[in-house]
Amino acid sequence: MTEKSKIQRIKSHNIYQSVFMPEGNPVAIIQINHGLAEHSLRYHDFARYLCERGFGVYLHDHPGHGKSAETDQQKGHLPWKTGWDDMLSVIHGINKSIRKSHPGLPVFLMGHSMGSLLARYYNSTFPMYFKGMILSGTGNPDILISKSFLALVKTIYIVKPDTHKSNWVNNLFYKNFNTNVKNSKTSFDWLSSNEAEVEKYINDPLCGFQLSLGFFKNLLQGSLQMLKSEKKLRFRKNFATLIISGSADPVGNFGKGPKALQEKYIRQGFFSTHLKLLEGRHELLMEQPHIKQQTFEAIETWMQEKLKGNL
């Protein structure tokens, strides 16, 4: 197995990217989009697991995240007008690189949380590029709440620059996620029931940072655009999607969001849409060891079955 990391110029952005390749030829490539206020290094255990089973893995830090954010000001910020498109263009640039380096090889697209929203939007535009899609920690953003929050952000933007990071706006955005966690010890307990993983997240300077007005505007507006794009999907009818989520994940409304998404896809004729709910919170890949292992195995098995033509 080989691991290579570098800063790569993609669509006018300096993007930190890691590539994992197995010994011998890979059976397929998986392109992974990480979530909000985190970074790709957190997925290296999962990447190594897949690599040991024959998959090549491409990871990157989104603009405004991880090592792609070269200054503290860039961390948690996206430009007001272009931020959502910037993230999508980077995903597209990496996908072009994958297809150039591995012509004819099956490619899976995976996204976690915010990364799943980007994956859903990107795949609704370019479904022909992928063998299948894996959505982790996804949900269905509430349209009314998203529009109301977007209006609030735009109002503040009248008097503050898009780089402004408001404690009040950030607290308002996250305030309900921990509500159903009994005896919570930190404001991030909703991420995982594994206290050690939560502690690692809190102590990681590349995680849990505040978001700017520009970031919120792009996240909310992009989410609404994604929902609109899913009203009439253009996937081929045998396109396969795995939706995997924690039954105690507040982002997925405790399983209701992923179930609703599966039903939405099936109503449009995409019957190879599979739902896997596991006992866990938002970050199944960072959960208790037995849940983490179940998650690794579920994703790998699903991809292997798709490659065999069984899905």
Residues of the chain with pLDDT under 50: none
Within 128-236, residue ranges assigned H as helices are: 143-157, 167-174, 195-203, 213-229
CA dihedral (190, 196, 199, 200) positive or negative:
negative
Q: What is the largest CA-CA distance in the chain?
A: 57
Asked if 165 and 211 touch (Cβ cutoff 8 Å), the reply is yes
pLDDT at 128: 84
CA distances from 94 to 7, 60, 174 (A): 12, 9, 30
What predicted TM-score, i.e. pTM, was given to this entire model? 0.96
Tell me whether strands 107-112 and 55-60 are parallel, antiparallel or unpaired. unpaired
pLDDT digits (tens, 9 = 90+) for 22-35: 999 999 999 999 99
CA dihedral (250, 254, 260, 266) positive or negative:
positive
35: exposed, middle or buried (C-beta count within 10 Å: 0-12, 13-18, 19+)? buried
User: Domains in the chain, start-ordered, CATH in brackets?
Assistant: 2-308 (3.40.50.1820)
Asked if 243 and 116 touch (Cβ cutoff 8 Å), the reply is no
Q: Give me the residue label for tokens 């940072």.
A: 209
